[in-house]
Amino acid sequence: MTSAVQRLLDSDSGHRPRADAQRNVERLVAAAREAIADDGVTVTAHEIARRAGLGIGTFYRRLASREALLEAVLADLVDELVAAAAAGLADPDPWAGFAGFAERFAELRALSCGVNEALGGDHGLDLDPQLARLRDQLRSLVERGQRDGVLRADVEWADVAFVLGGVVTGDHTIGLPAADQQWRRNLRIVLDGLRPGHER
């Protein structure tokens, strides 16, 4: 059971839900994650229920609101990035740890427009605790890399957040189509630029 499902079940009147109710919540969470990836945080409750194969009445019997579901799902997605950063900090190789986090960060943004919106902050949802943890972990990753001399020293940790955020682009620019998984090519260039030897 994901933490999103658990949070939603815990908020439901304080009693243990029936097995079918729990399955319906799990279906709604899975559908919401898919819909958020495709459509972003503007996805409607009707669309989530449709993707889950459930009626809108079931949606509102099981969940307090569309916003509560979106917050739970997006909190889980941001927590995935927090976990990736923690894994990077645990890696004995500081560059490999940082680069592994950077790849997961860019990949999740590329796969989900909802994650892009969540990280951008313009969504009206309460994700502050998760975003604060992510900022702390990113700062630790950058500062560790700088202390160990594998990441250029003239870059502020907050700059790295913006640079990594810029790895995922649109499908076209100046009339050029993006390559398949363009973000991976962009990420390689960004990571090369963050290595020592490019200081100004």
The whole-number pLDDT of residue 16 equals 59
Q: What rounded mean pLDDT belongs to the chain?
A: 88
- pLDDT tens-digit readout, 43-62: 999 999 999 999 999 999 88
> Under DSSP, is residue 176 helix (H, G, I), strand (E, B) or coil?
strand
Distances (CA, A) of 127 to 25, 120, 182: 21, 11, 28
The whole-number pLDDT of residue 198 equals 63
- The CATH class that applies to domain 3-68 reads mainly alpha
Helix boundaries (H) for the chain:
3-10, 19-39, 45-52, 56-62, 66-90, 94-111, 113-120, 128-147, 157-165, 182-194
- The CATH class that applies to domain 74-194 reads mainly alpha
Distances (CA, A) of 53 to 32, 105, 142, 156: 12, 31, 44, 47
> CB neighbours of 136 closer than 8 A, spacing ≥ 6?
none
| pTM attached to this predicted model | 0.86
The predicted model gives 102-122 an average pLDDT of 86
Show me where the domains of the chain are located: 3-68, 74-194
Tell the burial category of 97 from Cβ atoms under 10 Å away from its Cβ (0-12, 13-18, 19+). buried
The predicted model gives 12-25 an average pLDDT of 72
Q: Maximum distance among all alpha carbons in the chain?
A: 61
The whole-number pLDDT of residue 186 equals 93
Q: Using the predicted structure, report yes or no on whether residue 17 has a pLDDT greater than 70.
A: no
The predicted model gives 104-118 an average pLDDT of 88
Distances (CA, A) of 54 to 42, 45, 162: 19, 11, 39
Tokens in use for 180? Answer: 């398949």
Q: Using the predicted structure, report yes or no on whether residue 181 has a pLDDT greater than 90.
A: no
Q: Using the predicted structure, report yes or no on whether residue 2 has a pLDDT greater than 70.
A: no
